[in-house]
Chain A
Amino acid sequence: MPMDKKKVKLRLENISQSYVVNNEVRDAVSNVSIDVYDNEFLVILGPGHCGKSVLLNIIGGLEKPVEGNKYIDGVKFTGSDKRIGMVFQRLALMPWKTVMGNVEFGPRLAGVDKATRRKIAQKYIDLVGLKGFEKAYPHQLSGGMKQRVGIARAYANSPEILLMDEPFGQLDAQTRIVMEEEIQRIWQQEKRTIIFVTNNIEEAVYLGDRIILLSKCPARVKQIYEINLPRPRNTMDPEFLRIRREVSENTDLAL
Chain B
Amino acid sequence: MSRVKTAAMSSSERKAYYLNRLYMILPVISVLLLLLLWTTASLNSDFPSPVETWNRLIELFERPIKNKTIIGHTLASLTRVFLALAFNWTFGIAFGILIGWNKKCRALFTPLFNAFRAVPPLAWIPLITMWFGIGEFPKALTVIIGSIAAVVVNTQAGLSNVQQIYLDVGTMFNANVRQKLFQIAIPSALDAIFAGVRTSTSAAWMVVLAAEMLGAKSGVGFLITRGMDSMDMPLVLMSMAVIGIVGAMLAVVTQFAERLICPWTRKRSN
List the interface of chain A (C-beta within 8 A of B).
60-62, 80-82, 84-86, 88, 90, 92, 94-97, 105-106, 108-110, 137-140, 157
Contacts and interface: CB of A to CB of B under 8 A. Distances in A.
Contact of B168 (A62, A81, A85, A157): A62
A106 B173 CA distance: 5
A80 to B, nearest CB: 5
B141 interface: no
Interface residues of B, number: 21
Nearest to A62: B168
Contacts of A110: 173-174
Interface stretch (B19-27, B147-155, B184-192): B184-192
9 contacts: A82-B173, A85-B172, A96-B187, A97-B187, A109-B179, A109-B183, A137-B264, A138-B264, A139-B264
B170 interface: yes
Contacts of A94: 166, 169, 184, 187-188
A92 B166 contact: yes
B111 interface: no
Given A80-B172, A109-B170, A109-B175, 18 more contacts: A60-B171, A61-B172, A62-B168, A80-B171, A81-B174, A82-B173, A90-B165, A94-B166, A96-B188, A96-B190, A96-B262, A97-B187, A97-B264, A105-B183, A106-B173, A109-B173, A139-B268, A140-B268
B172 A86 contact: yes
Contacts of A84: 172
Contact of B173 (A90, A137, A138, A157): A157
A94 B179 CA distance: 14
The list of the 5 closest CB pairs from A to B, nearest first, reads A106-B173, A92-B165, A137-B264, A96-B187, A86-B172
A86 B168 CA distance: 10
B131 to A, nearest CB: 43
Nearest to B176: A109
Given A80-B174, A109-B174, A109-B179, A92 B264 contact: no
Contacts of B268: 139-140
A146 B161 CA distance: 23
Nearest to B169: A92
Interface string B243-268: 00000000000000000001110011
A80 B262 CA distance: 31
Contacts of A138: 264
A239 to B, nearest CB: 37
A85 B169 CA distance: 9
A85 B171 CA distance: 10
Contacts of B188: 94-96
Contacts of B184: 94
B171 A137 contact: no
B174 A88 contact: no
B263 A137 contact: yes
Nearest to A159: B172
Contacts of A95: 188, 264
Contact of A92 (B168, B174, B263): B168
B171 A61 contact: yes
